[in-house]
Structure 1
Amino acid sequence: MEMSVYQTIVKMRQQTKKYLSTDLKDTLSQAKVSVQLCLLALLFALFASAVILLFRLLLVWFDTYTQTQALNFTDIIDDWRVLLPLFGAFLIWGVAKMGSQRYKRMGIAYVIHRVKLHYGKVPLQSAPGQFFQALFALATNFSVGREGPAVHLGAVSASVLAEKFKLPDNSVRIMCASGIAAGIAAIFNAPLAAVIFVFEVVLREYKIHYFFPIMLSAICGALSSQVVFGNVHEFEQIGAAVIPLSQYPLLALFGIVLGCIAAVFNHTLLSVTAMGQQWPLLQRLLLAGAITTLVGLILPEAIGSGELAIAETISEHPSILFLSAILIGKMVATIAAIGLGIPGGLIGPLYGIGALLGTILALVCAMFFPSIAPYIGLYTIIGMTGMMGVCLSAPLAALVALIELTDNASIILPSMFVVIPAFLISHQGFKTKSIFFKQLEIMGLGYKVAPVNLGLQKVGVRHLMDKRFVIISNNDELLLEVLKRAEGRSVLVRNAINEVEMIQLELQASDDATTLTRHPIQGVPDTATLNEVYLILSKARRGEVYIYQENKDHIVGVINWASLQKEISLGQV
C-alpha cells in the first residue's frame, strides 16, 4: 500500500513536470486567450500589487513626518520642509550612484521601449533604483506623479516572475502588460483606466487575448488597493453638475486654448529634457531641487504631485490672479523636475496644471457670463482630462481615469467635446507628439517594430514547430537508410564539432541518382517567438531552424521556411 502511494506521488510529479515544461508552454505559445494565461496573469498581478502597496505605505509613512500637505503659505520661509527638494536631490543622487550605470534607465518611456523591442523584459536590477529614487522624489515634494514608479515596478514584478517560470516570450509581454495594469490600478484605484492606459499608451494595439489577462490584473490591483486604503475616489470632492448645452460653444473655445497651452508645455519640457542629457547627473538633480525650492518658497501650492494645486481650485473663493501664479509655478516646477531627470510620473502634475487651467478659464468666463459659476467644478475636471489626454496622447485613458477618480459620469460628453479640438490643435497645428515617444527619441531608444515582426512576436515557436523529427549519429550509411524511411520527417545529425545539421536527399539533374546533402542549421530556445525564426530564415528565404529546451542538446522541434511562410500568408500573425 505504501509503495502504491509513493508510486502515485512520483507519477503525479512527473505528470506535473511534463505539463509545466511542455503542455503549458504549448498553450501559452498560441496567440489565443486561455485559462492558463489568465491565471498566471492574476498570480503575477498579486505580486505586482503587493510591491505597489508597499511603495504607497512607505510614502504615507514618510508623509507622517514631513506632512507636506500641511504647508502654510504665510510662514513658508520659516518652514524647514521648503528645503526638502534639495535634500531629496542628494538622496536620489546617492541611490543612483549605488546602483549600476547599466540599469540607470527607468520610467514609462523606458518600459515602452522594453515592451516593444524586448518582450517586456525589464531588468530586475533597475527596480531598486526606481523604487527608492521615486519614493524620495515624491516624499520630498518634487512635482512628479506616482504612475511612473507604478508602471515600472509593476512591469518588473510581472516580467521577472514570467522569466523565472520560463514562459514563452510572447506570454512574457502579456504578463508585463498585466503587471503594469495592476500597478496603475493599485496606485489610483482606477481599474478600467489602467486597462485602457496599457492598450493606448504602452501596447498601442488591441488584441483579445491580451484583454482578459490585463483586465483581471487591473481588478486585482484595484481590490488590493481597496483592502488596504479603502474604496476611495481621489477627486470625488470636486463637484461637477450637468452642464447645459448653451455652454458648449465655450467648451470648444476652452479646448482650443487648452490645446495651445499643452503644446507649449510639451515643447518646453522636451527641450529641457534634451538639454539636460548633456549635463552631469548631480548638476541636473541639484538644479531641479533648487528650482523646486524657489517655487516652493513663493508658491508652496505649486510643488508636490498636484494635490495642493487641485485643493486651491476647489477652495471657497479662488482668486484668478493667485491661481494664475500657481499655474505658472506648477508648470515651471514640473518642467524642471521631469526635464532634468527626477524619477517619477507626469499624470499627477498634469492633473494639477489642468485643474488650474480649467478653473481659471471658467472664472474668467464667469465674469462675463455669470451662468457659468455653478459649473466651475466641471471645468476643473475637464481641464485635468484635456491636459493628460493631449500631453500623453491618451485621450480615452484620460477620460476614463477622471470618470473613475471623480466617480461622476456626467463629465463624459463635455470632456469629449473639449479634448477633440485640444488634441487636433496640439497635434496637427503644433505637431505635438506623445511625450513618452519623444523622450525615447531623445534618449536614443527604439520603439518602432515592422508589422510583420510585430505579428510574429505574438506567436511562440512551440505553436508552429514540427515535433516529428529524427536525430541520429554521424554515420553516412545509417543516414541514407534513415532518410529513406523518414516518411517526411526532418532528419538531424550532430557533426564532429557538435553543430546540428539538416540531412536531405537531392535529386541530380543528369539522371535519377540522388545525393546526400547536409547543411548546418541554427537553433532557438523554445521560449522564443516566430520573429526570431523569421530573422534567421528570411535572409535566404529557405532553410530550417531547430528548437531546443533548456540547452542545445535537448532538441524538441523543427521549423522550416515553408511552414513559416504559410503561417504568414494565412494571416495567422
Structure 2
Amino acid sequence: MNIPFSSFQFSAFRRQYLDPIVNALRDRIIRWGRKLETQSVSFMILLGVAVGVSVGYTAIFYEKLIDFFEFLFFDLLAGGLQIYQGYIFLLPLIPIFGNLIVSWIIGRFAPENHGHSVPEIMLAVAKKGGILSARVGLLKGLSTAIAIGSGVSVGREGPIVSIGATIGSNVGQMLKMSSNGLKVMVGCGAAAGISAMFNAPLAGVVYAIEIVLGRFTINSFSPVIVSSVLAAAISRAYLGNFPAFNIPMYELVSHWELIFYSILGIIAGGVSVFFIRTLYWVDDQFQRMIATREAKAILGGLILGVVGIFFPQIFGVGYDTTNDVLFNRMELKLMLILLLLKPVMTSVSLGSGSTGGIFAPSLFIGAMLGGAFGMILNVLFPAVTANPGAYALVGMTAVVAGTTHGPMTAIITLFEMTNSYQIILPLMIAGILSTIVSRQLHSESIYTEKLLRRGVRIQQGSDISILERIQLRDIMQTEFKVFQDDEPVANILHYVEEHRSDNFPVVDAAGKFAGMISFQELRDVFLRKELHQFLIASDIAVRDTITLSPQLSLLEALYAFEIRNQEVLPVVGEQDASQVVGLVSRSDIMSRYRQELLLEAKQIEPLA
C-alpha cells in the first residue's frame, strides 16, 4: 500500500514528536556546558570528541555505502549485461543510469549539491557563521556514493568533508553556539572527514585550518586535533591501520634530483591550472548548450561510458590505478593518455550534473604526471634518479597543492602516508613551486573559483567580495578638524583634551595636504611639556603618510593600512590630490564589513 509522506507531514511530525526531545536534550547539554563555561576550550574539546566519533563512524558507513553501490552497478548490473552479445558496448548504460539517479536527487531535494561541495563549506564559514544544512549534507553523501558506485569520475574526500562539516555545524546549532563556535565545529568535522578517509590525522588538521577555516586560532586548534585523532582511530579500528594508498619506501638518490623535482613542481602548477580551467569551461558548456537536467546527465554518462570502454581507469576515484603508477606497473603511453583524460572526464562528470570531490582526481592527475616525468628521467639520467614511483608521489603533492592553493595540506597528506623524511624535501619544493605557478597563472583555487563565479571572493576564511564592492566614499568621515602647519603643538593638545579626538590632517598656507598627526605623535610630545611652546604642527606631522582616493574599494584601503601601520589615513580629492576630503579608519572599514555580514546573515535558516 502506498502511504504518501510529504515534506509538510514530516515537518508536522518533527514539530510534534522530535523537536521536544531534541530541545530537552539540548537544554540539558547547554546547562551542563555552562558549568564548564560554554565555548571555553574544555567544552569545545568535549564537543570535538563528539564530532570526531560521529564523523569516524559516518565515514565507515560512507565507505561501505560506496562499496555497496559499486557492487550493485558493476557486479550485478554489469554482470546482467554480459548475457548480451557485445555487452561491452552496453557499458555506458551504467554511468548514464547512475548520473540520472544523482541528477534527480540533486534537482529534486538539494540543488546546492551540484558539483564539488567544499566551496559551500568555505562560504558557510565566511558568510553564514558556520551554518550548514543537515539535509544537504545527508543527500551529498548518498548522491556521491551512487555517483562513484556507477563509475562517475569524481572523488570521495570532498563529500565526507561536507558530511563531517555538516555534523559539526549541526551539533553547534543544536547547542545554540555563537558563529565563532560554529566555525570551530565545522573545522572539527572537516578535519575528521579527511583524517578518516586517508588515515592521516595531521593532514586532517592542516586541511581544516588551511582550506576550510582559512586561519589559525588557539581556540580552534585543540578541538580540531581531538576530532581528527578520534576519527582516524575509529577508521583504523574498523577499516585497518593503513593509508589510502600502498606507498613503497623511497629515497633521494642524488641531490641533483631536487632540480628535477623543482621542474616537476613548475609543470604541475601549469597542469593544475589546466584542470581548474577545464572544469569550469566544461561546466559552462553544459549550462549553455543543454537545457534539461536529464539531457545533461545522459550526455555526461554517455561520454564517460564510451571513454571508459577503452580506458576503464577513469571510472570512479581511481585509487587502484594510482597504486599501479606508484609501484611502476604502468606504461608511459598510458600515463600520458590518462593525464589528459582524467581532468576532462572529471569535468564532464561534474558539469553534467553529478556531484563528488576533486581531491582524488587531483591525486590521480598528479600521479600520472609525476610517473610519466619520472619514467622519462629514468631513461635520460638513470644513475641519479629514483624510480618513477617517487616522482608520481611528488606529482600527487604538487597537483593537489596547485589546484587547492593549499601547499601545506598537500605536503602533510602525502608525507603522513609515506612517513619517510627521505621524501619530505621533494614534497615541499614541488608543492610550493606548484602553488606559486598556479597562483600566477590563475589567482583562484579550484574551490574559490566556484564562489567567485557567484560574486563571492574568499580569502583566509573571509568574504572579501563585500570589501571589494564598497568604496571609501561610502564610509569616510567628511567632518574633521584640520590644523595649519604652523599651529602650536600646545593648542593641538588643548584641542585633544576638549574634544577627545587624536587624528588630524595638517595643511600648509595654501590649504594643501602636508601630513598627518596621530595619537602616536601626540603621545611622544605630551609628557615633554618644556617643548610645547617651541613645537608647531609641521614638527610632529608624518609627511610620508599614504593618501587614499574616494573611489578605492575597502579591500584596497585595507592593503594600504597593512603597508603603513596607522589607524587613520587621509582621503584626498579625485581631481586634486592635495586636498583632504575625508578620513577613514581601519575600525570604520571592519565595522562596515560586519554590518554587511549581519545583513546577509538575516537570510540564513539554521538546521534546514
The C-alpha deviation readout for 1:355-410, integer Å capped at 9, x for no partner, is 11101011112221122564322101000000001110011100111112233332
Which residue is equivalent to 2:270? 260
In the alignment, structure 2 segments of 5+ residues that lack a partner are: 1-23, 80-84, 468-587, 597-608
Q: Tell me which of 290, 298, 319 is aligned to 1:307.
A: 319
Partner of 1:45: 52
Alpha-carbon distance, 1:51 to partner:
2.1
Note the C-alpha offset of 1:293. 0.9
Match of 2:453 among 442, 459, 463: 442
Distance 1:153 1:43 in 2: 14
Counterpart AA for 1:439: K
Asked whether the equivalents of residues 113 and 446 of structure 1 are also in contact (C-alpha less than 8 Å), the reply is no
Query: C-alpha deviations, 1:106-152, integer Å up to 9, x for none?
Result: 71111111111112110122123212111111111111111111111
- Residue 193 (1) aligns with residue 193 (2): no
- What value does the CA root-mean-square deviation take over the aligned residues? 3.3
| Aligned residue number for residue 30 of structure 2 | 20
Alpha carbons of structure 1 residues 190 and 80: separation in structure 2 relative to 1, 3 Å: farther
Which position in structure 2 is the counterpart of 1:555? none
Partners of 2:335 and 2:368 within 8 A in 1 = yes
* Whole-angstrom CA distance in 2 between matches of 1:106 and 1:319: 31
Aligned counterpart, 1:225: 235
**What displacement does 1:52 show?**
2.1
Query: Which one of the candidate residues 363, 370, 383 is aligned to 2:375?
Result: 363
On the 8 A contact 1:96/1:104 being kept in 2, the answer is: yes
C-alpha distance 409-338 of structure 1, shift in aligned 2 (>3 A) = farther
Which digits, 9 at most, give the CA deviation of each residue in 1:194-240, with x for residues without a partner? Answer: 11011111111110110000010001110110111011112233442
Structure 1 counterpart SS, 2:453: helix
Corresponding residue number in structure 2 for 1:319: 331
Contact in 1 for aligned 2:113/2:355 (Cα 8 Å)? no
The 1:416/1:406 distance shift into structure 2, 3 A limit, reads same
Secondary structure at the aligned position of 1:122 is classed as coil
Matches within 5 A, 1:141-540: 141-278=151-288, 279-314=291-326, 318-371=330-383, 374-428=386-440, 430-445=441-456, 447=458, 449=462
SS at match of 2:356: coil
CA distance in 2, matches of 1:326, 1:35: 49
Q: Aligned equivalents of 1:311 and 1:388: distance in 2? A: 17
AA of the residue aligned to 1:37: M
1:109 aligns with 2:119: yes
Aligned residues: 440
> Partner amino acid for 1:161?
V
Q: Distance in 2 between matches of 1:132 and 1:160?
A: 18
The aligned counterpart of 1:544 is none
Task: Report the 3-state secondary structure (helix = DSSP H, G, I; strand = E; otherwise coil) of the residue aligned with 2:317.
Answer: coil
Q: Give per-residue Cα distances to partners, 1:293-317, cap 9 Å, x unaligned.
A: 1220111112221224313424555
Worse-superposed segment, 245-254 or 116-125: 245-254
Cα distance in 2 between the residues matched to 1:431 and 1:125: 34
Distance (Å, rounded) in 2 between the aligned partners of 1:299 and 1:147: 23
Distance in 2 separating the partners of 1:79 and 1:202: 42
What is the CA–CA distance in structure 1 between the aligned matches of 2:267 and 2:112, rounded to whole Å? 42
Deviations 1:224-259 (A, max 9, x none): 101110111122334422332022222222222222
Give yes or no for contact 1:177–1:214 (8 Å, CA) kept in 2: yes
Residues 432, 170 of structure 1: alpha-carbon distance in 2 compared, 3 angstrom cutoff: closer
Residues of 2 paired with 1:367 and 1:293: CA distance? 35
Are 1:182 and 1:222, in contact at CA under 8 Å, matched by a contact in 2?
yes
Task: Determine the structure 2 residue equivalent to 1:513.
Answer: none
- Equivalent position amino acid for 1:188 in 2: F
Matched letter for residue 140 of structure 1: S
Distance 1:294 1:315, change over 3 A: farther
Q: 1:316 to 1:197 in 2, by over 3 A?
A: closer
Deviation per CA, 1:79-113, whole angstroms, max 9, x where unpaired? 86553211111110232244155776871111111
1:122–1:160 Cα contact (<8 Å) kept? yes
Taking every aligned residue pair, what percent have the same amino acid on both sides? 24
Q: Distance in 2 between matches of 1:319 and 1:54?
A: 36
Amino acid at match of 1:54: F
Structure 1 unaligned spans of 5+: 1-13, 455-530, 540-573
Whether contact under 8 Å (1:185, 1:191) holds in the other structure is yes
**1:23 positional shift:** 6.8
**Alpha carbons of 1:106 and 1:383: their partners in 2 closer, same or farther (altered >3 Å)?**
closer
* The 10-residue stretch of structure 1 (55-64 or 38-47) with the greater mean CA deviation from structure 2: 55-64
SS at match of 2:387: helix
CA 1:76–1:334 in 2, change beyond 3 Å: closer, same or farther?
farther
2:142 corresponds to: 132
SS at match of 1:371: coil
What letter matches 1:179 in structure 2?
G
C-alpha offsets along residues 29-61 of structure 1, whole Å, 9 cap, x if unaligned?
Answer: 5xxx52111101211222222222211111123
Deviation at 1:450, TM superposition (A): 7.0
CA contact (8 A) 2:115 2:351 kept: no
Contact persistence 2:53–2:231 (CA under 8 A): yes
Shift of 1:27: 3.1
CA contact (8 A) 2:91 2:309 kept: no
- What letter is aligned with 2:246? E
Change (3 A) 1:447 1:317: closer
Deviations 1:436-472 (A, max 9, x none): 1111122445646479x99xxxxxxxxxxxxxxxxxx
C-alpha displacement of 1:354: 0.5
The alignment partner of 2:131 has SS state of coil
Give SS of 1:27's match. Answer: coil
Q: Aligned partners of 1:345 and 1:334: how far apart in 2?
A: 9
Give, in whole Å, the separation in 2 of the partners of 1:425 and 1:37: 38
| Native 8 Å contact 1:117 1:447 kept in 2 | no
| Residues 1:292 and 1:225: Cα distance change in structure 2 (over 3 Å) | same
Quick one: distance in 1 between partners of 2:57 and 2:434? Answer: 37
Secondary structure of 1:113's partner?
helix
The residue that corresponds to 1:550 in the other structure is: none
Q: Does 1:55 align with 2:65?
A: no
What's 1:510 paired with?
none
Return the alpha-carbon distance in structure 2 between the equivalents of residues 84 and 34 of structure 1. Answer: 49
1:36 to 37, 40, 43: 43
Is this contact kept in 2: 1:76–1:82, CA < 8 A?
Answer: no
Change in CA separation of 1:86 and 1:28 when aligned onto 2, cut-off 3 Å: same
Q: Give distance in 1, aligned partners of 2:110 and 2:371.
A: 45
Distance verdict in 2 for CA 1:310–1:538, change over 3 Å: closer
Contact kept? 2:161, 2:190, Cα under 8 Å:
yes
Distance 2:447 2:594 in 1: 34
Q: Where in structure 1 do 4 or more consecutive aligned residues deviate above 6 Å?
A: 16-19, 102-106, 533-539
